[in-house]
Every structure is written in structure tokens, then in C-alpha cells.
Chain A
Amino acid sequence: MKLTSKWLAIWAWSEVSTALAAEAKVQHIVIVADSRQVSGWKAWLTNLYNESHLYFALATIIIIPAVGLAIGKLMDVLLAGLGIDLKTRKLAEH
């Protein structure tokens, strides 16, 4: 999974624009998470959610694809190590 800088730039742009596009469609309902039950990074996450849904949305669309890509890359290394060809597909049919 080789990522070019151009692809990354497009991706980063789409991340910000999707968050802003989502902002325009929001329904004005206030939901508050109880941060008293949790501590550490969970408390940070809860506070982020309570303080700004925009930052929370940005964090979501950055963290999840990043984690997905990191695990995907790890799987790449593992599967390539097994000797699987990860670059070509020989079956040519409809």
C-alpha cells in the first residue's frame, strides 16, 4: 500500500471538507456524555465529545482510517512474509 503525497493531500482535503459538510446538516439536539464515570484518555474523549462535536467528528474521521491503514499495513507485512503475492490477480474473467 504505497501512498503518494498527492493521494494523501486529496485524502486530507476530503477529510476536512466532509467534516464541514456534515456540520451543515446537523440536527440541533444536545447529547451529553457522563465524564464522571471514566478517567484518563476515556475522560479526554468524553470531554472532547461534550465540548465540540465538530472536533469529535474530525477526530473520528482521522483516527479510524489511520488505525485501519496501520493495521492493514501490518497485515500486508504479515501476508507478504507468508509468501502471498499481494500485487497481481491472475484470474481474468467477467
Chain B
Amino acid sequence: MEWLYITMPIAGVEIFWPGLIVLGLGVGIISGFFGMGGGWMVTPGLNILGFPMAFAIGTGIAQMSGPSLVSTLRHGRFGNVDYRLGVIMVLGTVCGFEAGAQTIMWLERIGRVDLYVRYAYLALLALIAWLVFADIVKKRRKEQEALAAGRKLDALSTGIEWHKRLHRIQLPPVIHFKKAGIRCSAWLPIGVSFLTGWLAGVVGIGGGLIRMPALIYLVGCPTHVAVGTDLFEVAISGLYGAATYSYKGRTELLAALIMAAGAAVGAQIGSIATKYVRGYGIRLLFGLAVLGCALSIIFKLIAAANPGVRSLFDGAATVLILGLVVVLAGHILIQFIRGVREELTLKRKPLVRSSL
């Protein structure tokens, strides 16, 4: 079975290449569906496959630039990308990210930065999970109330409506974001992207995991537009990440290429699957992904605090993340297959009728 292994020319390690394709496929599906880069899933996956940590981070980020571009273009075709909003948010994100990096340097001078960062990350994930599930519960309650009153709830109604309050701040320039269907002060997306960029910089992640819910709950984007617009940002930040890590010599191009091949296929599947799933269905799955991610951080914290059980909990965190990739990607794939079947059946129906 030697042909299943390939020597990585730069890292100098033997890698099981079908594992790279499967990992890329899974992460691509999740990334295209939720609108995030998925670095938190790729890094432990590459590490398990045998990459040293330094190469795992760089390679994971480098492979992101291909599939996120594919997903952005696909979502763009579906009308899910507000490019104007995306460009404005990129500016805020970049400034926020730099401010986050400065904050980390300041924290390093205080000491115990890793612990603070992990706790901050955990608190952030808990907040996002609470937001998502509180929103779903509130929306369901509204639906039930409307049903009891004998009327139908507006398809565009939401559970949590913080964005409506924020839209009332009409600080010039006020911009109409056509695809997102919102009219607000330009300072709102700038402020939100600065904040999410800063948080991403502090906790050391790409930011898609924070930006996607921020686009929904603070900026007021419909779920599908939040996914597409966030992917536009991921494509740009992924490109920058690929450049910076490659320049630092921390990218294994061959592995990134093999992964990107699988991820590009997955990105198409994930992006198209959003066609068949309602916005709140995406939010629910996203909430579960965030919970899984939070649980893995708890395992890492337990491992760091108790050297005796370190390997056990570190291993559990990795297994949890990879299990999450398998379950989520599998579920999205099933939704995709069901949706495609229904679409094709609907297309064939009129032909059957006319032939009768």
C-alpha cells in the first residue's frame, strides 16, 4: 500500500494522501455551507495526518484560498454575496485584526496570554451559541403566536432583532446594500468588522466563525447573504494568509494542492446545498458546530490544567473536531442529495403531464 503515501518535499514527511482529499472535501462542504474558512477544523486534521504543527497551520490556511474563491463565485451566482458590503467589511477587518495582534502583544507582556485567550475564545463561542439558539427559540415562539392568531408569519421575520435598533443610527454616509436588502450607516459594518477582526486577532483565528453571526445579528443580513459575503472575506484573507505563511516557509504546497482539490469539490456541494436549506436550518447547524468547537476548547483547557490527563483530553478534542467534520459534512451532503433529487423530480413532472 505504499502508493497511498506521498513524500512531502518541504516538510519531509510521508503523508496518507487520500486522507488529505477526504479532509479537504469535508472542510470544503462545511466551509461552503456556513461561510467560514474552517481553520479550526483543518489544523488538528493535518496534525493527525502527520504534519508538524507549524506546517499544519500554514498549509490549512493556504488551501483555503482556492475553495473559498469557488464558493464565493457560486454564492455570487445565487445572489448571496453583497460585494459592496464585503469590501467595506474587509477594511474594518484588516484594521481590527492588526489591533487584535497589538492587544495580544500587550497581553504577552502581562503573561499567561494563552490561558486568557482560550477563556476569551470560549466565552465568545458560548455567546455565539446562545445567540443562535435564543434566536431560533424566539422565532419559533413568534411562529406559534402567529399560528394561534390565525395569520402567517412574514418569511423575512427573525427572532432576535438587534440589527433593527442598530439600523436606526443613521450616521452619514448611509448606504443601501442591495443584495443584503439593508439600508444603514456605513459605520455599522465598519464597526462590526473592526470588532470581529479585533476578536479574531486576539483569539488567533481567521474570523469566519465570528463574522457570520455578526453579519446576521448585528448588520441584519439574511442568512444566505451572510454566508456568501463572509466567504468573500474568507477568500481575501485566505489569499493573504497563503502569501504570508508561504513567505515564512510554513506551507507545504503539495499538501495544500491535494487538499484544495478535495475542498473545491466540497465547496461546490456546500454552496449548492444552501439552495435547499432554509436560513434557520443553516443557523441551527451552525449553532451545533459552534457548540462542538466550544467543547473541544474545554477539553484543551482541561488538558492544559491537568498534565496527568493531557494526552487523553488533547486526543478527545481532536477526535471531537474530526467527528464534527464527518457528521456535519455528511448531513450537508444528505441535504444536497435530497435537494437535487427534489429539483430534478420537479423538473421532470411537467414533461410527464404533457406526454399524458
Do A and B interact? Answer: yes
Q: A33-B10, A42-B9, A64-B256 are in contact. Are A18 and B240 (CB under 8 A)?
A: yes
Within 8 Å CB of B63, what residues of A?
64
Interface residues of B in 72-101 (CB under 8 A from A): 73-74, 77-80
**Residues of B with Cβ closer than 8 Å to A?**
7, 9-12, 62-63, 65-67, 69-70, 73-74, 77-80, 155-158, 222-224, 236, 239-240, 242-244, 246-251, 253-254, 256-257, 260-261, 263-265, 267-268, 272, 274-276, 278-280, 340, 343-344, 347
The smallest C-beta distance from A7 to any residue of chain B, in angstroms, reads 9
| Interface footprint category on A | 35 or more
Within 8 Å CB of A92, what residues of B?
155-156
Interface residues of A in 15-47 (CB under 8 A from B): 15, 18-19, 21-23, 25-27, 29, 31, 33-35, 37-38, 42-43, 45-46
Beta-carbon contact of A68 and B70 below 8 Å: yes
Least CB separation from B6: chain A residue: A42
Q: Which 10 A-B pairs rank lowest in CB-CB distance, beginning with the nearest? A: A68-B66, A72-B70, A57-B246, A22-B243, A22-B244, A71-B264, A60-B246, A89-B78, A31-B249, A57-B247
Contact with B along A51-71 (1 / 0, CB 8 A): 001101101110111111101
Beta-carbon contact of B10 and A75 below 8 Å: no
Q: Is the interface of B mostly helix, strand, loop or mixed?
A: helix
With contacts defined as CB atoms under 8 Å apart, how many contacts are there between chain A and chain B in the complex? 186
The smallest C-beta distance from A49 to any residue of chain B, in angstroms, reads 5
Beta-carbon contact of B268 and A60 below 8 Å: no
Q: Name 8 A/B residue pairs within 8 A (Cβ), A-sorted.
A: A1-B70, A26-B244, A35-B9, A64-B242, A83-B343, A86-B74, A89-B275, A93-B278
Within 8 Å CB of B344, what residues of A?
82-84
Which among B9, B69, B240, B279 has the greatest number of chain A C-beta atoms within 10 A? Answer: B9
Beta-carbon contact of B279 and A94 below 8 Å: yes
Beta-carbon contact of B246 and A22 below 8 Å: yes
Beta-carbon contact of B65 and A68 below 8 Å: yes
Which among B236, B253, B278, B344 has the greatest number of chain A C-beta atoms within 10 A? Answer: B253
* Interface contacts beyond A67-B260, A72-B70: sample of 10 additional A-B pairs, CB < 8 Å, sorted by A: A1-B77, A14-B239, A21-B244, A34-B12, A37-B7, A45-B9, A64-B256, A76-B268, A84-B340, A86-B272
How many angstroms between the C-alpha atoms of A71 and B347 in the bound complex?
Answer: 27
How many angstroms between the C-alpha atoms of A1 and B69 in the bound complex?
Answer: 11
Within 8 Å CB of B253, what residues of A?
45, 49, 56, 59-60, 63-64
Within 8 Å CB of B280, what residues of A?
93
Beta-carbon contact of B62 and A75 below 8 Å: no
Beta-carbon contact of A26 and B155 below 8 Å: no
The smallest C-beta distance from B50 to any residue of chain A, in angstroms, reads 16
Within 8 Å CB of B254, what residues of A?
42, 45
- A8 interface residue per 8 A CB criterion: no
Partner of B73, one of A14, A72, A84: A72
How many angstroms between the C-alpha atoms of A90 and B155 in the bound complex?
Answer: 13
- A91 interface residue per 8 A CB criterion: yes
- A87 interface residue per 8 A CB criterion: yes
Least CB separation from B348: chain A residue: A83
Within 8 Å CB of A18, what residues of B?
239-240, 242-243
